[in-house]
Every structure is written in C-alpha cells, then in structure tokens.
Structure 1
Amino acid sequence: MVVLSGCESWAMSLLRSIDVIHAALSTETKQNFQTFSSQVQCLVYGDSAIFPANVQRKRYRDKLGSESDFIIFVDSEFTIDAFAGLSGTLKAGGILFLVIPSRDEKLEQSLFFKRFYSLLSKMPSHTIITESQASVLPLHFDVDNPVKLSATSTYPHGCITQEQYSAVIAIKKVLSGQRKRPLVLTADRGRGKSSALAIACAQLMKEHEQDEFDIVITAPDVQALSVFYRQLKQSLNCVEQQGNTITFGKVKLTFMAVDQLIRSPIKLNLLLVDEAAAIPVYLLEQLLRSYHRMVFSSTVHGYEGAGRGFTLKFKKVLDRLCPQWVNLHINQPIRWRENDPLEQLVFDACLLNAELPKLKTTLAPQPPTYGKGSSVEKAEVLNKSNEPVFKVISAKELVADEALLKQVFAILVTAHYQTKPSDLQLLLDNPQVQLTCLYSSKNNDAEMLAVALLMNEGKGNNVSDADIRAIKHSERRLRNHFLPQSLFSHCGFEQAFNYKYLRIMRIAVHPQIQQQGIGAQFIHYIELLAKEQGVDFIGASFGVNPELLSFWLNAGFSTARIGFTKDKASGEHSALLIKGLVVKSKQEQQSFKRNFYQSFDYLLLEEYRALTTELVFLLLRQNSKGDVSALSERDIANVQAFSRGERLYSSCCYSLYLWLKQDLLSETKCHSTEVLQQSLVLVARLIQKHDSDSVCQQFGLTGKKMLNNHIKNYVHLRLNTAIN
C-alpha cells in the first residue's frame, strides 16, 4: 500500500507519473474511464470529484472475488468494509493507493484511523508520502507491457496449487463416497477456494453430461458467486445459461436461495454452500437435515462474516448429525504470495485474526429475575466475589490496550455471524456507542465472558426538529437512531424522539459458556445501566427466529414490529423488540405490543406468509388475553361439536380459529415436545391458513382425512385438559 497524504489534486498529479494509471486518468469521460484498458484493471472507490469512482459506494461487494492491478481509495469517510473487501481483489504486484487529504487531521478525528496508521507505520513494506515530502512517485509501469504475476496452472484440471487440486478431489468424493459425509472447505481470501468448487463442478458435469444430473449452489447472495461462475464457464468452454441455471448436456447447475431450499426441499445430486459463515448456523443445520451430499465452503477470516463463529458452532452440529464429516483447509495463497504485507495489514487493522482465548473455568450462573433491579441491587451483586462483574469500557481504554481490544473483538466476531470491520470503526469512533463487558470476577486474572455494543439514541443525541420533520416527510433517514426512527416511521409513534433509548446492537457470549444463562444475566446488568443513565427504553433489532425471540421475550421485551422483507443472508425477517424502563415508557410498550397483534393475523396472509410455524406459535403465545376475541356460546358449541365428530371442519373453522387463539394463551398448556408438535399443526392450518396439502407435507400427515382427525383429536384433548 502507498498512502498519499495531501490535497487530492497533488495526489492526482503524482499518480499520473505512473504510466498505466496516467493512461486511465487521462480519459475525458467517466464512461471511458471505467473501461480504460483491457490489460490492466484499476478500481477507484470513494466520494472524490477529482477521482471519479468506477466502484459504486454501496455495490463494492460486486467486485469481491474479482482481480485488480491497482486500487485508488479516496473516501472521506474511510469506509473500512469497502477498504478491507476491495483490498482482497489485488493480485501479486498490485498496489493500493490510499489518498487522505490531511493525515494529522484524520489522526485527531478518528481513534480507529489513529490505530490503523500506527499499524501501517510499523510495516516497512508500505509507503507513506506526504505532500511536503515528494513530488514524484518512485514507481514506473509500462502500460504496453504490464508485469505478468498471475499464477499459472501446474496441476490437472487447471488447478494452481496442490492444495487446490486436493480440494477438487475431495469435492468430487462427496458425490462418489457414502451419504451424510459432508465436506467443509475453509480458507482465507485469495486461496482459490471458489475456483476449486467450480473446477470440481465442471469435472462432474463433464462426467455426467449424458445423465439427468442436478447440482445446486447457494450463498448469501448470488453476487458472491462471480468467481465461481467465471471459473465454471472457463472450465467448461461451452455452456448455456438462462437466469441462474447453467446447462451442460443434460446436467443442470442452479443457484437457489437458502430459505427456498429449506422451505421446499428438492431432489438433487449435490448441494454446494459457498460463504457458509455468512449464513446462520441453524439454517445450515436445516440444510443438513434435508440434503445428504453437501459441500460447505467458507472464508475463515471473513471481512464481513464470522468465519470462526461458523467453525466453532457448525462443527458441533456436524459432530452431532454427521460424525464422519470431512474437514479440509487451504493455506497457500494463489492471488498473491505468502505473508503478503497488505493482507497482514488488513487482518491486523480489522482484527480479523484476533484469536479467541480459551476459558479456564466453566460457569453456569442462574438467570436473574427481570424488572426488579436497582442500583443498590447492582452494587450488592458486583461485590460478591463469585458473581460476574459488569464493566463499561471506553474507546480510549481500548486503543491504549491492544490485548483488551483483541479480546473484545474476538468474542464479537466468533459469537455473531454478521460482525464486520465497520463494527470496530463504530466502536472506536462513534460517541453514541458504549461498550460493556462481563467478567468472571473482579480479580486481576478475571476472564471476559461476554461483550455488548450499545447505542444511545433519541432525545439528547443531536436530533433537531428539522430532522424529525424530514423523517416524517420521508426526506431523510438519521444514522444511529434506529429505534426512535423505526417507531416513528413504521409504528406511528409521533412522540418517538421525546424519549431516550439504549439499543443493544450486538450482544455476544463466549461460545464456551453459551446456553448457561450468561446472556440473560448480562441483559439484566445492561438494563440497570440504562436506568442509571435515565434511559426510557432499551431495545434490539435482529433477524428473528424462535431461539433468539425466546431469549428476548424471556428478558421482558415485547415485539413492536416485524419487517416485511427478508434478510438476504439469513432469509429471516427483522424483528424490533422494546422494553420500557419507566412508568410512561412501560405504558407505551404495551401500546406497541397491542398494535402489533391487531394487524398480525391479517399480515400472516401476505407479508408474513413465510414466517415459520414455530415462530408464529411463539409470537401468538405472547399476546394478551384481553386483546383476543372472546368466544360466544355458539363458538363454544361449534368447537365441542367438532371435537365429538359431529361437525365438519369447514363449517366451524372460524370458531376453531378463535378457540385456538384463546387456547394458546391458556396457563394449562402442556409444553411437552409431543403436544407442542400437535399444536403447530393447528397453527399452520387455522391461523396461517396454509392449505391442507402443504400442512400434510410439512408435518408428515398422509392426507386431508388424517389432518382433520389430528385437529379433532387435539381439540378433544385440550377441552378435556381444561375441564380436568
């Protein structure tokens, strides 16, 4: 990397001294600039008027997996996710030019950049040039004779390294070997992992050209597969492509989204999951249960996804479901040489290689009782030597203690699948952010158990009346005010910005002690902190699934909103949960909850149609009895008659629907797995309004007659339970 610290016009004149870049920058139009050379690829990212960008600010991910010779990064916000992502496109011999107007000003403004610059200064491979120091770059490139540094094939099928060839063999063996022996292929960027998947697919497609043969590949986004598709077409030479399907002879290779594969399982010969670390583990587990010949490929030190979280959590699932699974890791880089200085800088600056410490002790504290905390109780708890200790840590403390910073981020990255480098930037530079940690004790050798990133939002955080008016008229969206903005815009809460909020952006427990009540206890401490700071609401937003929703509901939060669209990576709808901490905000919390359930049934028929039955069941269990329609005498008579086999389903289904909503709130409800499974059938049919064929397929029933008998038997059981 070469840092050019000075005005942009000076940097531009300096870069023109490089022949190949001069040829690019000399073009008069932006359109020509974007396609200046077929020989040399130069990416320009940022918001500079002097350096017209050819990478869209929000579409930089489209370039991931591609290759470039030069990158010019001129971004006033120093968007670290884009920086980290694009840096991986550089080939061996490539240079990343970072243009910053004033180094000293940037160092004063940003703790993140101060740390970044400190790491950079200690690495002699990189160069820093200031406007007062130099007028010419000591570099020369001939545009007509670019340096050829790309690796060449020395192994069969076009493989570049022995490790890549071994990966191709291992992928093919998944198909020829025994079922339920999935392969997990891991590597850092630039190791040829995606190309190995494509080469193996190409070989299989050639071998089965005359057979009805189906390969499906999935990923967080089809854009992430650009390298895969390019290599596949190169290896096959002649293919037909229509939409997301590539055909070679009778063989088909199709991209399908994860949620589609889970919702409607299909017959296939091989399933490939690329960038698996960016997909929640519970979704990967559902894939494992539905398909038996699979390859999971993932980046370990992900620039936007927790590779190690995937490694730790998913391997436990594999050990349980497929104990003979195979693991293969590719070490040797292909796009650049080993120990590449730019890769090392990005790893260190973004803490992508922060190693998770192993805990010496295993703790299993009991979750606290919510809603009864006070500052006095907090002091008593913290003084007990056998209780976890809650601390708030400032950004300055983190920058001054690299070991502490690495420890914090290692837990965040490992425990949360969507942690990004920008989270580190946010943690160090955003004054609205607070970092809280939970330690095993107050001793000097105490171990870090959990980490949470908290955002102060709403009243008292630089929101003007003009901002609120602009939001109301859909003219702008405020950064760092997600909770009040969402309540204002989506829930019609006109007074949203009159309250103070503490949003729990990230909460991560060390994987070694998860599922032991630590997270619940941590939430309790955060709530006490919020009360001390005069906060009205605490809240959170996340991709909703039954496990996560249960955690937040058990902590006293209630659902204010569920988004109408699904996240591309997880296939989940986002949920907004809120908890009031004072009398007035508690009343508003009940109002949000009531408003949510008033429209929930209606939205289940369209916007929420894809919600899982388990999730709908859990949500309905949180409704208030007073907000559920009472049963008339006729409804009760209809339900009783149906349970005795005296009425047809269709003639009394509305009465059954009203009865089920009441029954789900009954205190006598048995929580055994068997009864839960039985009630889910009724939720799917009566409340989600799924057709009988879909419900039968979902729950393994043979037909409509068996389905109606199931409903009748369940109603009869519950009526008798209520009587007894």
Structure 2
Amino acid sequence: MPSLDLLRYQQAFARLGQRRLLLLAGSYTWQREQLRAIQQQCKGDWLILSSEMSEAIKPEHAHQLLGREYLHAVFDANHAFNADALAMLTGTLKAGSWLILCLPDIVQWQHYIDNDSQRWNDAQGVISTPHFMAWLAKITLADKQAIIWQASQPLVLPEIKNTGQQWALPQGMPTIQQRQLLAHLLQAKSGVWSITAPRGRGKSALAGMLIEQWPGSVTVCAPAKNSIEVLLSHTHKTIEFYSPDNLLALCHTEHLCRDWLIIDEAATIPIAQLIALCQHFPRVLMTTTVQGYEGTGRGFILKLGDSIPKLQNYQLTVPIRWAQDDPLENWLNQLLLLDEPSFHHANQSGEVVITSCQHFDSEQRANFYQLLTSAHYRTTPLDLRRLFDGQKQHYWSAFIHRHLVGAVWCIEEGGLAKALAQDVWRGIRRPRGNLVAQSLVTYGLSIEAMCLTSLRISRIAVLPAYRRQKVAAKLVADIAKQCQKQNIDYLSVSFGYTDALANFWQQCGFSLVRLGVHKEASSGCYTAMAIYPISAQGQQLLQVAQQALALQSDYITQQTGISLATALPSASEADHWLMMAGFAFAHRSILTVYQSVGYFLQGDRSRYPLLVAFFIDKQSVEACVKQFSLSGKKALVTTLRRQCQQLMAEKDEQLAQAYQHWLTTTSSGHFCWANRPHHPIYH
C-alpha cells in the first residue's frame, strides 16, 4: 500500500530532521484519492494552498502564514502556480513534513495554462508557461531526493542516506550563533542591528530570547500580530505589540521610553517607515529574510544601510527548524534561485560591453535574476516567473571582463487602439498593464501615450562595486540607440522620487512628466514618471505631457514639498477647458483639475464656496462632507462635478455645451477624440 510506504518513509526522514517534496502528477480525481490515503496515514496539520479547493487557503493569502509553523502541506498547482505562495508555504513547514505538489501529468506540462499568469503578465490575460514548466521538470526530475509519483507509474521511493546521527530540535536553548549574538545585543547601549537569514534559522526565536533576557522594556512591531507566533513562543513576558502605522502615529504624539524596538519581518515594511521608527528608540533590532519571497533581496540591506550608515548587520546560517542540507529547501532554492548569489569578484575597471536579448538560456536567466536579487530592492519569484514566460519583455546586460555587472529589464507599452485610450482618458476603463502610458492618458491632455509605441524600463540594477563607472547610463544610452532603429516613439521609467534618482534620469535624457501625491508603500517615496522622446511624435507627446504636469505642478508641490524646477511649458486656456470638461462631464480624477478650477474661479469665488474649500483651500474630503452636509465622498464628487459644469457654462455656455455633447455620446459609441471642440468655438 503506497500510503503506508510513505508513512514509514516519512518517519525515517523525520528522524533525520528532513522535509521532503512529493509530486503527485495525474488527474484531479487520482490526486484526491492519494491525498486522502496519505493524510489518513501521516497525521499532521495538512495545510492546503489552492485557488480551487473549498477548504483551502487562497495562494494570495499565503503571506498570512509567515511566522507560523505547520506539519505537512499541500500545494495545489493544477490550474495556477503562485511561486511566491509556494515559497512562503515551504518556509512554514517543520522538520518531518511532506510538501505535496499537485500538478497534471508531466507530459501535459508544456501546454500548462497558468491562471496565476494574469498577475504578472504585462501583456494581459492568462497564458501558457512552457519555459517555467520546463525548468520545473528539469529541476524536479533531476533531484535525487524528490519523490515523483505519476498516475501512470508505480511509486518509487529514493533511498534515504542515513548519517547515523538522529536530529533533535533545539529545546528552547540558543544555538552557538544565537548565543554569540545575544551576548552582544544584551550589552548594547544604543544602535540599530539587523539579522538576516533564510527561513528556519531562528531569527524570530532570537528576538524572543532577547525579550526574555532583557531586564527592561521592549516594544515589538510587525506587519501583523499573527506573524510573531514564533517570537512569542520564546518568551514568557507579555508583549507590547504595534503595527508599523499605529506605532509611528503613537511616536508622533507621545514620547515612548522603551529600551528596545524589535521589528519582525522588517523587509515587508517600507524603508521610510523603518527609518522613521529607528529615530524614536535607542536600540532597534530588525529581523528579516534575505530570500526574495518576502518581497526583498540582499538589496534590502544595501538600501537600508544607505539610509542608516551605522546599521550593523548579522547573519544566521545554520538551520534550526530542520536539518542542514534539507532536501525540500535545496529543491526550492534551485527552482526559485533563492540562494545568495556570489558576485564576489573584485571591482575591476574596464570596457563595458552591452548585449540585448528577448530570451535567455537557463544560465543567463539565473545570472540576470540573481543580479537583480543582489542589487535591487524587492525582487521576488513573481519577477522570476515573468522572466521565464512574460510577453513583450526585453533585456540588456552589461559586462566588464565577461562578468555580469549591470542589467536592465524593459517592457513594451503602448501601441493600443484609440478606442481603448479614449475610454481610459474619460475615466471609464482602467485595464491592467501599460503603467506609464496609461498614467499619462489618465492624468493628461492627450490619448497619444497609449497609442504610440514605447519601452518602459521596469528594473535597472548595477552591482554596488561598479556604480561609479557609469554602467547604468551606458545601458540606458544603448537602449535609446536601439529603440531609434526599431521605430519606438519613446522610452519611459517609473521610480520612487529622490533628488539623486531624478538627477540620474535627467542626465540620461529623460524629462519628468508625472509625480504622484501619495507615497508608495514599498519605497516610501512619491511615484515619479519620466520619458525620453525618440520619434517626432514622442517629442510632441513630451510637450503635451509637460503641459499637463504644469497644470498640476502647484498642487503637487504643495502636497509633496518637491519643487518641479524643470522649466515647464505654460498651460493654455484650451488646456484648462479640456481638463475641466473631462472632470465635469466624464469620470476623470479630481487630481486633474485643481489648478483649472482656480483658473475658472478667477474674480468670483463667493458663489462657489464648496469649490473654493476643496480646490483652493485644500480642505479634506471629511471636512467638506461635514461642512456642506453631504452624505459622503461619492456625494461630494458628484456635487463637485455638477458645480464645475455650472462654472464652465457661466464662462462660455456654448463651449461648455459643445464639450458636454462631445463627452456624453458614449451610449451611441460615437465618441471620437478627434472631434473634441476647438477653442474658442467661435472666432
């Protein structure tokens, strides 16, 4: 009986502190039959991750498992293969655990349609993923420790190599590495420390031990309280816990006298929040993994070190929750390239050789991805999936003495139908993808950004040792040169705004065209967008995009404190009319009309107190809702649109009617950008 064989096998590898992969490849009915038999024999938690099974946790909720421990799990990948979720699930499994991976027959893998691909495929839609599935087959079939059970073949169990030593889980006692770190931290007077390690090395346990042994006060911070279960299990003390947002708010209103702040799962918290929190405590300990599936890479430590120069980083290398050389960990690390990349060659000056391609072989892909992991903040298995099978991707690599030192990842944007671009401009559609092109249409004066062809620089990374040799600038210059040959209209980039990055992109020939007014969670920076015009139409787009930016510049500066020093073209009266019409008669964002409302209100503000309060005095939504007795935000926006219509009609009734007619012909499907009213309507 195979399930009984698997029980004996599980008992054998559990004694060695190992975890194992069991691949079930066959029909869904066959898989369920085997799962029931195995679960009856091998008792455990049997956590299930699946987008199909009713009793399962959805893969998109896998992050809620971080900081917990389970015995045995099932990863149902019959219809969707969420690599991030697989890695998170694997990291929660105790020694002696099965990870059962459910997939169709191996012969079907080359035609596997992955429903998870709509998460990362910028070309939109669900696609087949033959390259990743071929990689999965290569890694798994070559793994001597993986158990592969196909419906069409009998179960064969590989021999377990008995080392002669029975493994034992440390019973609350620190390991040698933990003991050394604890001794150092317990003597600390002040400072910021980070402890990085792959999963299962005892980072959270060490934090709990520090709390238990520290005689004074400690505050704990993490993205969610259920993620600190391991930490809690290593102390008998009552924990003072806060989420990052709540703790920051408390720090701004009260003076907290605490000896330590411990931040668990630090890489999942925006850098800006981490820096702010560090300023309120004399001693701070951050624990995090260096593996990409929690949204970071080694780049997290690099970026944090740039902001906190005296940061002291320590590493834990020896696994605690399972034995060294764990078969499941080895398989996962190979599959998702999670091992720390070894870019240790010394900095060498020399000629920068640049190559480009649209497809990689296995070695090239691994090197490219691991460079991103080493040098770029927040590189995850989702990026790896995109590297394998994402559509409309282009890659540039920079080499010095045949060493890969820099990489750029570009994604095609634009080239879309005018009908779609028109709907985006009016605010009635918001399709996935086309990040910069769509944003320029959503907030701009033209639909052309989505219709022209462009390449967006999605990632750019250079090894730290080579960042003074203009490698990044040379990569960008080569991209621009090749785009000229391929009739691309413009290059674009989206980045977290800093003066240094803005200056870099400006020196590369890019001009700022968008700046968000809300900080992005990942970087703690405002989102900036810039373009590099290549064709004549690209040049025209830049002009129009900067006119739109000029219309929003005062509000942007007020909200962000960032002065748009670039000489922006002046907005015309026609620009104000177009922006006002899009908000008043269509569904465009409030952000598009702050300055235009002020332009229309010149000379007579007394009759529109709501417009003045919201657009001129910049009162909050809540304040305006209360002051003007409105039912909520939706009612506020409706009233603002209606009053903007009235304001336009007072300015020029005939022109306002022309814009209204142009923008409200959606039901007949006759809306056409080219038919927009000319300003002025009469001469």
Same fold (TM over 0.5): yes
CA distance in 2, matches of 1:202, 1:491: 56
Q: Is the CA contact (8 Å cut-off) linking 2:271 and 2:522 kept in structure 1?
A: no
Shift of 1:479: 4.4
Q: Distance in 2 between matches of 1:560 and 1:583?
A: 17
1:515 and 1:138 map into 2 onto residues whose CA distance is: 53
1:546 is aligned to 2:499: yes
Identity %: 26
Matching residue of 1:483: 436
Pairing of 1:235-314 with structure 2 (within 5 A): 235-236=235-236, 239=238, 252-257=240-245, 267-268=256-257, 269-277=259-267, 292-312=282-302
TM-score of the superposed pair, with normalisation by structure 1:
0.65
1:377-417 superposed Cα distances (whole Å, 9 cap, x missing partner)? xxxxxxxxx6422211343x422xx2x33322222111111
Structure 2 counterpart of 1:172, which letter? L
CA spacing shift, 1:487–1:236, aligned 2, 3 Å: same
Give me the whole-angstrom Cα distance separating, in 2, the residues matched to 1:301 and 1:316: 20
Listed as ranges, the matches of 1:1-150 within 5 Å are 1-20=21-40, 40-48=44-52, 51-52=53-54, 54-75=56-77, 76-107=79-110, 109-134=129-154
Structural mapping, 1:382-421, within 5 Å: 387-395=351-359, 397-399=360-362, 402=363, 404-421=364-381
Question: How many angstroms apart in 1 are the aligned matches of 2:435 and 2:69?
Answer: 36
Which position in structure 2 is the counterpart of 1:562? 515
Aligned to 1:197: 207
Inter-partner Cα distance in structure 2 for 1:688 and 1:502: 39
The answer to whether the 8 A contact 2:73-2:98 is kept is yes
> What SS is found at the alignment partner of 1:271?
strand
Deviations 1:683-719 (A, max 9, x none): xxxx9999xxxxxxxxxxxxxxxxxxxxxxxxxxxxx
What corresponds to 1:712 in structure 2? none
1:458 aligns with 2:414: yes
Task: Return closer, same or farther for 1:267/1:547 CA change in 2, 3 Å cut-off.
Answer: farther
Q: 1:560 to 1:602 in 2, by over 3 A?
A: same
Letter in 1 for 2:513: A
Moved more, 445-454 or 338-347: 445-454
* Residues 209 and 234, structure 2, Cα contact 8 Å, conserved in 1: no
| Paired position in structure 2 for 1:708 | none
1:163 to 177, 181, 184: 177
How far does residue 46 in structure 1 lie from its aligned partner after superposition? 3.0
CA contact (8 A) 1:566 1:572 kept: yes
User: Does the Cα contact within 8 Å between 1:45 and 1:53 map onto a contact in 2?
Assistant: no
Aligned equivalent of 2:539: 586
1:226 paired residue number: 226
Q: d(CA) in 2 for partners of 1:579 and 1:509?
A: 21
Partner of 2:115: none
For 2:190, the equivalent position in structure 1 comes to: 179
Which residues in structure 2 correspond to 1:288-437 (within 5 Å)?
Answer: 292-312=282-302, 321-322=309-310, 326-363=312-349, 387-395=351-359, 397-399=360-362, 402=363, 404-437=364-397
Q: RMSD of the alignment, in Å?
A: 3.7
Equivalent-residue separation in structure 1 for 2:167 and 2:428 (angstroms): 48
CA contact (8 A) 1:60 1:82 kept: yes
Q: Distance in 1 between matches of 2:523 and 2:80?
A: 28
Distance 1:262 1:590 in 2: 45
Structure 1 residues 466 and 127, CA, compared in 2 at 3 Å: closer, same or farther? farther
CA shift at 1:254, angstroms? 3.5
The SS at the match of 1:236 is coil
TM-score by length of 2: 0.69
Aligned pairs (5 A) from 1:488-503: 488-491=441-444, 493-503=446-456
Checking the alignment, whether the CA contact within 8 Å between 1:438 and 1:451 is kept in structure 2 is: yes
Aligned mates of 2:81, 2:219 — CA distance in 1: 38
- Partner SS for 2:34: helix
Structure 1: segments with no counterpart, 5+ residues = 23-38, 140-148, 240-245, 247-251, 364-385, 630-686, 691-724
Residues of 2 paired with 1:520 and 1:509: CA distance? 10
Q: Deviations over 1:85-132 (max 9, x none)?
A: 221111111112221224233235421221222111121211112221
Say which of 424, 430, 438 aligns to 2:398.
438
User: What is residue 697 of structure 1 aligned with on the other side?
Assistant: none
**Offset from partner CA, 1:142-191 (integer Å, 9 cap, x none):** xxxxxxx996553xxx44534334444443333xxx334x3332221112
Could you tell me how far 1:266 is from its partner in structure 2?
A: 5.4
Alignment check: 8 A CA contact 1:279 1:570 kept: no
